[in-house]
Structure 1
């Protein structure tokens, strides 16, 4: 790790990487010793963590939630979209997930365990399958001299295997979408480096969709004699879920030769009633490798000692390969398979072995089982559920091209010495959520209409937008614990990663949201906070989300039922701001034309929140925006700033579409609203939280400049509605109070701070740190020339999450100064890519390319000295 709590190990690992051994492990990234133990053990947020005053205030919500939870779990036998009673406990074990975008994921922990599974779309299973392991066998002169499971664990099962690898001098290194594990073999003078590669490639809309990963094992023999080395991969047919024992699962060997390349392995057919799939482990048979060895076992029981399999490998470094398939399992029985590949490694030399893991679940249903969806990768590999061999062959013969593309993308950032190492690690490793956020990427059915047959009053939205037809539908969860797809108030922050790296998916998502805007669902339902019945979806209002994967996303939106989000103040505004930002970055005029009438419709809906006609919207006195546990009354810094920023971009878009009448209307609103905003909220140093005049209305909100942030990201910002010296003053107040006066300046920015320098404890969210908000705050600081402050602010979050709390590849929504966290593996921290958009006031150049599968958008940043900031 980069922290100094294990300096001797860190120094040793540094010598490994910088030595002439040449493992290819990059200097930058997240690194951890396999023997490391995190000292701090945090617990998830629970009701007991709420103050007494907040409990009293929300007692109605608690009673209604309990009734709803009981009905959902005990009667309907469904998983709640937010389970307040069964929070996921913190397991400090996760590494980079395997697989491309939208085809499901399997996570391999940093100690080598296969431990988190998301094969059924959006539904997670947290189970370490202990039999899923890599094992090494070394032979010299026809005799096995060393055989070891490459795991530090000592499980109570599989006692016939040699467990307990010493991880003291081994380390894991992640720079997503790749990861490296370096295993020095004690007493053998041999080092293994396992390189994990997933096809997550910016601007690539084919290979990035593939449900595959590759493991390349580099073997270095530092002895003066040659060795025969075998690597064995064992996998259970299943994921540790109860349906592994459901019966009917079976395995079979396969061999595929194509274009002069041979790939062989074992297919593990998991034959569930719903969403069956085939898991495939394979290896490339390298005809040019001296004494290449290959063998497999199609079936063994992962119970008991499994000594027979261990002995088979230890005898000659091979596995006897039985012919034919295994019989289907009986109910209550599990079956596993093994694949071993070997080669000779010369004295003082190298060799390598290549494995792939693929999973083929081409046709999926969500929890309602109402309709079938087809995953994106089937466009290239078919829908017949027989693609696993071809996927494996493709992965093993193309992964070097993937790596070349990944290196080309990452190189300018990694080689920039002006960028701190922690930032490089955070920037790339936080991208894991694009893949492992319960992500689905599907084809648009031929008979579908994104708006359910409805149109905005002025038209403008096609039934099947060309971009969705070509690039498919994309959805990712708010969080692995907050199970709602494309939660829009949060996507506002996370969207920078998509628009910068996969802009076609970002626009596709926007078309889906636009289709939902013009649709409605008048079904009345109880909202848990208010206790009132309201329609599920109101026309011309942006939805909170597009549904729950345990129901039927896209078909039934707004799985969130705590508040009636038709009254939320930020959703409509965030749509308008993203439309213009996306147009600014892509220059897609068709997109602007299609979205313009939708923007007019949602802004018209928003007008009702300006109750006094002063050009500025008011909050309602309850939590009516993304801070859904923190109330605001009257005009507020957050929603008022977003409103005026949206009015700004409406003026800009009106001119672009030649609508002078709309321009003049919004220009007038902007003039009046800006004056009201300044009069009601500016206190001489920063913008007050709200204008209610209540005891805590002058709290310092870390996110008070969110509107300005999006204007800057859209090429706007100077002289729009806030004077720059006031923005800089507000940001300085946030830095001094929310950052430096909180936790010694080491944990990022707390959401709310009192001007006297203590956190605002008025709600369950005001005294939290929201990592995604902090990265957005850092971005606007950088935009405004506060480079050092922005870096210091963001660094606190990275150090806390990745190095201190052990939350790698599960960055949460929030943590407090002590004790607790909330909502592991969350969407919002993808906002770190907003820091890269303008890279320390860098310049952006956008270049389009028509070459297939090549990047269509290149960002080039030129780092500049910190500009002068006006004196305050």
Structure 2
């Protein structure tokens, strides 16, 4: 605890008045998709450790504790509260504007929401004519600044120890809450800050160990997730302290070895210091009226130091509480740290398939280490805070970057924490563990390769070792096959009989690394919406990401290229089998067989054909590097290189002849469509990114890009929403009922903006980016960025991986 001034909140945060609702937040496009509403805040917790979220109304409401599973539910007893007295009057509030909707905690007084338009929608505490404070977020930090209610000036900074190139603390299951209290008056003020938490041990695992997989109405495979929320029998809380620290340990009796998913411990803790009094209460009823906590706290800011470690009965739930009371003299400032830690070391996929989380490499695997994690945070939080600031500051200080861009650049990284993220413990094969992020919450499978072609730039630039671990997992999967027959969901949505397709063909690049109900990294191609063995972009996406990851991490990890080379050869050979007319370019089949998987392409397509050309160039470059380093069978390598050179020489003129129309590249060679596809030259973008020869002439690329900017962006919705995926040159739809062509895909737009910057059109790139950022951060989509928004104010597929493509823009600005 220090009397140091508070660190300054950056000016480029996403911010919103505390408790202020939205007049017309975006709503979900399809009823089957997840729509939790706009009350999302920055997540807290390390990569793969599970995370929690606290919204701008102050409630803890997001629980991604069970790897890959989503739970959005306010927990009123998990809360900060503040007592204040100036000697003549006092007040106390729980710092959420959202009252419990289950009738609990009626004895508590709840904080008032800020006034203003939309404030009546928050359903929380009584309205307040002026602003009661501001919530700020700049991942991985967020702040609550409380105003016009307390006489003291109070700020709570929240963060987890996440910063670039950090492969230890970034995995920790911990959140730091650093309170800064300042007395601006001319009389002493007594304050008490209380943290209450429920014992949640055992709650976060699926009660259905083998849930049935079914096809949802949108064609996606889904299963039920039933957490054991509220099942607390056998849970206990006890006081734990040292000369420096005091906390409440939240455990459970009879936890078996080895630990099972959901079992382990939680801990809330703070510092002991001569400047403060620390109070505790280890067992209270969080679903009752709450008077056993509130009566003493609201009276004088204390707790009764009640200790009871008796385990909970079958119908009982447990809360714990810590309070820190202190008096500030006029002009005095004090910082008070609280930490929340959890130790739930196991993620279970299918029944019996268990993985330990990365942080267990540093704290052990028995699930009893929440106190050790909490005290580590109390000892190191100041250092962590400095490391985060040192990482962020060079970007924050750049005067050539607008504030909204800096804000979105950092905040879009939220998905690395809350995207159902997995990060396994180290092994001999994977010395920093294996890593994976979901495509999104609605399409719950990991690291969809077509999506991460765009969305992996953040991971690559900030945590390159994790990025390479993902690509290595794809390389290992390519040779394998799985002949399990499946019905394809797309045909279900168009009410047509589905062909039966095998799950995974040997040599085909898998679409994804599996789902949390099976065996991630080992059982791939979970999605069955389309037959991904037929996709024409996945193999190219793999080759391009291999070479990209090599180049952008120093161009010296030749072993990485060698590890991936066999898979590159297999997938390119496999993809070439779809060149049915022998012209050198694999054709699209007329079914949606690429990342735009509701959009039929026929023959040679601009999108897939361009990726094919760029992938061949990348494969030629990789083979030359391996030859230069004498890695592999040099004779075989030379033949492979020559083969790709032959394919490229044959393909390049065909691409021009069949697709260039004098202004832009046609959607494909056989449909006759005049649609301007926004992402028609993704292959050209990647070729330039990787320092490879242009796959199309530069003047044609620029002409196509200007046409895309005009038609898909400026003429679509008056340039307010971003670029639609595909419209006619005048901005009109080819088919007004189409899905993907008329959606604005956030990640595709960020990729397109990066292409604009790459081609010298920086102003246009920023204008496009700003339009998309505003749709997200003004309309209640923050910290759940969707794949798609529409001009009708709807969205699809929240918490989407592709949006981290905003880091590709920063790459080119650098």
Q: Same fold by TM-score, threshold 0.5 exceeded? A: yes
Q: Distance in 2 between matches of 1:206 and 1:164?
A: 37
Residue in 2 that maps onto 1:493: 454
1:160 aligned residue: 107
Give the structure 1 partner of residue 347 of structure 2.
364
Matched, 1:137 2:83: yes
Contact 2:20 2:113 in 1 (8 A): no
Corresponding residue for residue 87 of structure 1: 33
Task: State how far apart, in whole Å, the 1-side matches of 2:387 and 2:237 are.
Answer: 34
Pairwise CA distance, 1:278? 4.2
Q: Could you give the per-residue CA deviations for residues 700-755 of structure 1, whole angstroms, max 9, x where no partner exists? A: 11111211222232233xx4321111111111011111111111112111001111
CA distance in 2, matches of 1:322, 1:176: 37
Residue aligned with 1:500, SS: helix
Match of 2:162 in 1: 200
1:603 shift after superposition: 0.5
2:172 is matched with which residue: 210, 221, 226?
A: 210
State whether residues 650 and 666 of structure 1, in contact with CA within 8 Å, keep that contact through their aligned partners in structure 2. Answer: yes
Q: Which of 126, 140, 145 in structure 1 is aligned with 2:72?
A: 126
Q: Name the counterpart of 1:101.
A: 47
Question: Partner of 2:8 in structure 1?
Answer: 24
Matched, 1:532 2:499: yes
Confirm whether residue 634 of structure 1 aligns to residue 581 of structure 2.
no
Asked if 1:442 is matched to 2:424, the reply is yes
The answer for the alignment partner of 2:804 in structure 1 is 830
Q: Give the aligned partner of residue 189 of structure 2.
A: 227
Counterpart secondary structure, 2:339: strand
Q: Which residue does 1:43 correspond to in 2?
A: 27
Deviates more, 1:87-96 or 1:619-628: 87-96
Q: How much does 1:86 deviate?
A: 3.5
- 3-state DSSP class of the match of 1:431? helix
Question: 1:760: Cα distance to partner?
Answer: 3.8
Describe how 1:731-770 pairs up with structure 2 within 5 A: 731-761=705-735, 763-770=738-745
**TM-score, scaled to structure 1:** 0.83
Which residue, out of 686, 691, 708, partners 1:715? 691
How far apart in 2 are the matches of 1:344 and 1:493? Answer: 52
Structure 2 matches for 1:802-813, cutoff 5 A?
802-803=777-778, 805-813=779-787
Q: Distance in 1 between matches of 2:484 and 2:227?
A: 36
For 2:621, what is the secondary structure of its paired residue? helix
The aligned counterpart of 1:255 is 240
- Secondary structure of 1:159 counterpart: coil
Matched, 1:567 2:553: no
Answer whether contact 1:251 1:337 (CA < 8 A) is retained. Answer: no
Q: Note closer, same or farther for the CA distance 1:270–1:474 as it changes in structure 2 (3 Å cut).
A: farther
Change (3 A) 1:567 1:211: same
Determine the C-alpha separation between the residues in 1 that align with 2:488 and 2:725: 26
Distance 2:227 2:63 in 1: 13
Q: How many residues align?
A: 749
The whole-number CA distance in structure 2 between the counterparts of 1:598 and 1:741 is: 43
* Contact kept? 2:787, 2:797, Cα under 8 Å: yes
Cα distance between partner residues in 2 of 1:685 and 1:280: 61
Alignment of 1:43-442 (within 5 A): 43-46=27-30, 86-141=32-87, 145-155=90-100, 156-167=103-114, 168-186=131-149, 188-238=150-200, 243-257=228-242, 261-269=244-252, 275-287=261-273, 289-290=274-275, 292-331=276-315, 333-366=316-349, 368-442=350-424
Structure 1 residues 825 and 271: alpha-carbon distance in aligned structure 2, compared to 1, 3 A threshold: farther
1:490 is displaced (CA, Å) by 0.9
Q: CA RMSD in A?
A: 2.1
For 1:12, the equivalent position in structure 2 comes to none
The alpha-carbon distance between structure 1 residues 388 and 796, as it changes in their structure 2 partners (threshold 3 A), is same
Instruction: Determine the C-alpha separation between the residues in 2 that align with 1:640 and 1:327.
Output: 64
Per-residue CA deviation, residues 566-603 of structure 1 (Å, 9 max, x unaligned), is 11001111000001001111221110111112111111
C-alpha displacement of 1:41? 3.4
Alpha-carbon distance between aligned partners in 2 of 1:631 and 1:251, rounded to the nearest angstrom: 57
TM-score (norm. length: structure 2): 0.89
Whether contact under 8 Å (2:283, 2:307) holds in the other structure is no
CA contact (8 A) 1:270 1:276 kept: no
Give the C-alpha shift of residue 163 in structure 1: 1.5
Equivalent residue, structure 2, for 1:61: none
Contact 2:414 2:783 survives alignment (8 Å):
yes
Could you give the per-residue CA deviations for residues 315-353 of structure 1, whole angstroms, max 9, x where no partner exists? 33211222341322323x322221111222221121121
The CA deviation string for residues 768-813 of structure 1, in whole angstroms up to 9 with x for no partner, is 010000000001111111100111111111001111x211100001
Matches within 5 A, 1:453-464: 464=429
Cα distance per residue 1:261-308 (max 9 Å; x no partner): 424234254989952334534333242x42x11111112112342223
Greater displacement, 195-204 / 719-728: 719-728
Query: 1:502, CA displacement in angstroms?
Result: 0.6
Q: 1:308 to 1:693 in 2, by over 3 A?
A: closer
Deviates more, 1:22-31 or 1:269-278: 269-278
Q: State the match for 1:609 in structure 2.
A: 578
Distance 1:543 1:693, change over 3 A: closer
In 1, are the aligned partners of 2:269 and 2:340 still within 8 Å (CA)? no
Q: 1:445 Cα deviation (Å)?
A: 5.6
TM superposition shift of 1:361: 0.7
Q: 1:702 aligns with which of 638, 654, 678?
A: 678
CA drift of 1:644 comes to 0.6
Cα deviation code 1:439-461 (max 9, x no counterpart): 01012566xxxxxxxxxxxxxxx
Q: Does 1:505 align with 2:479?
A: no
Instruction: Supply the distance in 2 between the matched residues of 1:497 and 1:834 (Cα, whole angstroms).
Output: 8
Determine the C-alpha separation between the residues in 2 that align with 1:513 and 1:34. Answer: 44
Alpha-carbon offset, residue 504 of structure 1: 0.5
Task: Indicate conservation of the 8 Å contact 2:188/2:330, yes or no.
Answer: yes
3-state DSSP of counterpart to 1:245: coil
Query: For structure 1, which segment, 755-764 or 557-566, has the greater mean C-alpha deviation from structure 2 after superposition?
Result: 755-764
Measure, in 2, the Cα distance between the counterparts of 1:151 and 1:763. Answer: 42
| Counterpart for residue 619 of structure 1 | 588
Segments of structure 1 that go 5 or more residues without pairing to the other structure are: 1-19, 47-84, 447-463, 840-860, 862-872
Give the aligned partner of residue 510 of structure 2: 543
Q: Pick closer, same or farther for the CA change 1:134–1:506 going to 2, 3 Å.
A: same
TM-fit CA distance, 1:201:
1.3
Matched, 1:797 2:772: yes
Q: Is the 8 A contact 2:606 2:680 kept in 1?
A: yes
Conservation of the 8 A alpha-carbon contact between 1:247 and 1:328: yes
Task: Give how far 1:250 is off.
Answer: 2.1
Q: 1:317 to 1:365 in 2, by over 3 A?
A: same
1:682 matched residue in structure 2: 660
User: What CA distance in whole angstroms lies between the structure 1 residues aligned with 2:266 and 2:232?
Assistant: 19
CA distance in 1, matches of 2:746, 2:323: 43
- Contact 2:42 2:142 (8 Å CA) reproduced: yes
Q: Deviations over 1:198-228 (max 9, x none)?
A: 1111101000000101000101111112222
What SS does structure 1 have at the residue aligned with 2:570?
helix
Residue 665 of structure 1 corresponds to 643
Mapped contact 2:281–2:303 kept (Cα < 8 A): yes
Please report how far the alpha carbon of residue 831 of structure 1 lies from its aligned counterpart in structure 2 after TM superposition.
0.8
Q: Does 1:815 align with 2:778?
A: no
Aligned residue in 2 for 1:867: none
Residues 92 and 101 of structure 1: is their aligned pair in 2 closer, same or farther, counting only changes over 3 Å? same
Contact 1:571 1:625 in 2 (8 A): yes
How far the C-alpha of 1:157 sits from its partner, in A, is 3.1
What is the aligned counterpart of 1:655 among 621, 624, 630? Answer: 624
> CA 1:797–1:680 in structure 2 vs 1: closer, same or farther (change >3 Å)?
same
